[in-house]
Amino acid sequence: MSNDYPYQDTFEIDLQNKGLAKVTINEYTKILSDMFDYLSDFNKGYQENHKVSNLFNRDIEEYLQMLLSERKINHNTYNKVLSHINVYFNYLFTHQLNSNLPTIDIKGLKHESKSELDASWIDKLNDILADANVHFYARMTVLLISKGFKSEEFLQPGFYRLFNQITFSDEEKVFVNLFYKFIQPIQLKQNSEDIFLKQRLSKDPHITSAGLHKYLTPSEQYLGFSLSPSELFKGYVVDFIKKNPDLSDSKLSSQLNLDLSSINYYKGLIKKD
């Protein structure tokens, strides 16, 4: 059986090894098959010999522009498609299957500004925590931000001491127990009790902010909303203020662990919304 697109077998094995869910891998198949079908039909350079090495940023941009103009996809879908294509070409480049990165200069489209105030995920928290298609680190990120922690706090070495003091609901405890089963082998390998750790051995085993983003991106695409920790935190604070209209600024400052100027900033966002 022939592949739907070049290097499909080895690429999808790589995705499986990274722990991506079957539904996500199917999404890659659908997007990449569609792109290469389009290139086979309409791109003269690719039609000549069907070599990936003949593809450059203008070729990928041509396909993406078609999605916008003819299929009328929205900005979120555009960014999702671009992200999948980017992962694919990064795989080819790092495995020396292709010598260029045709997506390197292609930028995503801006989200609508109101996405920054999206707090709907808070009411869906239990469903997100129970969804095995969402990476453990993504689910833990959402859970900790719902408790009022910023990513710069929970990525710090030693955060596990504070984590052990957090009160969780019964539904949250179910997820935390599953998370422990996931993280304990990694903790043993890295000789660390922290909860955000690289899966490969490293002198510094702690995941950086940039490293966390790599785990968040596939889950962000699956869930359909931004998992940027700063945007999630913004949504959390705005939701808290809206749900506690009678609290004074000083009480809000104390309970949210934010200074008064930050409280004014978030209240300003609510007025704009």
- Count other C-beta atoms under 10 Å from residue 120's C-beta: 10
Question: Can you give the pLDDT at residue 89?
Answer: 95
Mean pLDDT of 81-93: 94
Whether residue 272 is predicted with pLDDT greater than 70 in this model: the reply is: no
Question: Any idea of the CA torsion for 223, 225, 230, 233, to the nearest 10 degrees?
Answer: -80
Asked whether residue 232 carries a pLDDT value surpassing 90, the answer given is yes
Rg (CA), the chain: 21
- pTM (predicted TM-score): 0.59
